[in-house]
Amino acid sequence: MEFSHEPVLLKECIQALNINPNGIYVDGTLGGAGHSIEIVKKLSLNGKLIGIDKDTDALNAASKKLEGYKNVIYYHGNHDNIQAILEELNISSVDGILLDLGVSSYQLDERNRGFSYMGDSILDMRMDRTSGITAKDVVNTYEEENLANIIWEYGEEKFSRQIAKNICKYRKTKQIETTKELVQIIENSIPKSKQNEGHPAKRTFQAIRIEVNNEIKPLYQTIINCINSLKEHGRLAVITFHSLEDRAVKNAMMDMQGKCTCPKDLPYCVCGYKSFGKIINKKPIVATQEEQNRNPRSKSAKLRIFERYDKK
């Protein structure tokens, strides 16, 4: 299957990065290179793009899409480790970083990846299929209370406790191995009268995917690391699709912006607070109605932008 993925908030991201043609840019979630191709188009031969992705399928597809550009470096890894990756590449700082969080259309559509609640496939859900736990591991080994908490916190599923209870009940007889088995358990756990808001398995599958790929816990520190990797006036642009993602990004950016705690009547600052830059948009940028109609995935997207500079 072709790794096709319509980039969300594309124009807004390119504007946010304020691209310097001779600069170094990082796409920390390369995917199908939908954002990256527009970045690299704006770079001169002296500019450089570093594409990072946990998914080897994404890296292979992106390299084909960008094969006409010789100033692209592909890296199989996790954007959580951006400082170590840049150090390995002998790059001290960069002009811009883009993170488009969440799962791609390809990953959802590729049935053997186990991300989708449509069809039937092995429960995997790993973005990096070379390591880590699978969805099968989560549903068959986690304690009931832990499962319920994950489904509630990451999926905001009202029937999380009943779903967790039924998962544990089912696995006493046999292991849960396929997406179809898990969907049936979820459907049997939610009253029919409450199954009218999209697919009943959507929230639980999202929650398990977030747990498998550890998408939330490192995010606050990842944003800090990204900002620390920027040159003076470099930009970080982050697209989130989940309230917990957005909260982590917002909190990290606010902490890096810093805040003076001096009384307002003092003529100058004496608290010595440290700022590493500023948040460009106080409110997150969201997709236009036209984009939401064309690409439903963009409905929950939020873009936050940070510009690096050191407080003098």
Residue 83 is part of a domain; what is its CATH number?
Answer: 3.40.50.150
The contacts of residue 15 (CB under 8 Å, 6+ apart) are none
Give the Cα separation of 29 and 5 in Å (integer): 12
Query: Could you write out the DSSP letters of every residue in 91-114?
Result: ---EEEEEEE-S--HHHHH-GGGS
Query: Could you write out the DSSP letters of every residue in 292-303?
Result: HHH-GGGGG-EE
CA distances from 273 to 75, 212, 221, 259, 269 (A): 36, 38, 20, 7, 8
Where in the sequence is the domain holding 177, given as residue range(s)?
A: 127-210
Mean pLDDT of the region 10-21: 97
Of 210, 238, 263, the domain-final residue = 210
Let me know if residue 120 belongs to a domain: no
Q: How many domains does the chain have?
A: 2
Q: Does residue 271 sit in the same domain as residue 198?
A: no
- pLDDT tier, 4 (very low <50, low <70, confident <90, very high otherwise): low
| Whether pLDDT at 230 is above 50 | yes
Q: Does residue 44 sit in the same domain as residue 68?
A: yes
Let me know if residue 1 belongs to a domain: no
Let me know if residue 302 belongs to a domain: yes
Q: Does residue 140 sit in the same domain as residue 170?
A: yes
| Whether pLDDT at 49 is above 60 | yes
Let me know if residue 4 belongs to a domain: no
Give the Cα separation of 64 and 81 in Å (integer): 25
The rounded mean pLDDT for the chain is 92
Q: Does residue 232 sit in the same domain as residue 96?
A: yes
Mean pLDDT of the region 41-59: 95
Let me know if residue 134 belongs to a domain: yes
Query: Could you write out the DSSP letters of every residue in 180-219?
Result: HHHHHHHHHHS-GGG--SS-TTHHHHHHHHHHHTT-STTH
Let me know if residue 293 belongs to a domain: yes
| Whether pLDDT at 293 is above 80 | yes
Question: What pLDDT does 288 receive?
Answer: 96
Let me know if residue 228 belongs to a domain: yes
Let me know if residue 115 belongs to a domain: no
Question: What pLDDT does 204 receive?
Answer: 97
Hey, which residues does 159 pair with through a beta bridge?
Answer: none
Question: What pLDDT does 234 receive?
Answer: 98
- pLDDT tier, 312 (very low <50, low <70, confident <90, very high otherwise): very low
Q: Does residue 158 sit in the same domain as residue 181?
A: yes
**Of 23-27, 106-110, 153-157, 273-277, minimum mean pLDDT range:** 106-110
Give the Cα separation of 297 and 32 in Å (integer): 15
Determine the residue type at 189: S
Q: What is the pLDDT of residues 88-127, one digit of tens each?
A: 999 999 999 999 997 765 566 666 788 889 889 999 999 8
Tokens (6 digits) for 115: 């991300």
Q: Does residue 222 sit in the same domain as residue 96?
A: yes
Of 194, 210, 226, the domain-final residue = 210
Q: Does residue 238 sit in the same domain as residue 283?
A: yes
Q: Does residue 87 sit in the same domain as residue 230?
A: yes
Tokens (6 digits) for 142: 């986690």
What SS3 state is found at 7? coil
Of 154, 179, 210, the domain-final residue = 210
Q: How far is CA 28 from the centre of its chain?
A: 9
Question: What pLDDT does 62 receive?
Answer: 93
Contact yes or no for 236/278 (Cβ under 8 A): no
The 8-class DSSP code of residue 122 comes to: B
Q: Does residue 138 sit in the same domain as residue 266?
A: no
Q: Does residue 155 sit in the same domain as residue 85?
A: no
Q: What is the pLDDT of residues 248-275, one digit of tens each?
A: 999 999 999 998 888 888 888 788 788 8
Q: Does residue 158 sit in the same domain as residue 86?
A: no
Question: What pLDDT does 107 receive?
Answer: 61
Question: What pLDDT does 108 receive?
Answer: 62
- pLDDT tier, 301 (very low <50, low <70, confident <90, very high otherwise): very high
Mean pLDDT of the region 17-25: 98
Q: Does residue 171 sit in the same domain as residue 239?
A: no
Q: How far is CA 77 from the centre of its chain?
A: 14
Q: At 40, which helix (H) or strand (E)?
A: helix 36-41
Mean pLDDT of the region 164-170: 98
Tokens (6 digits) for 163: 């779903």
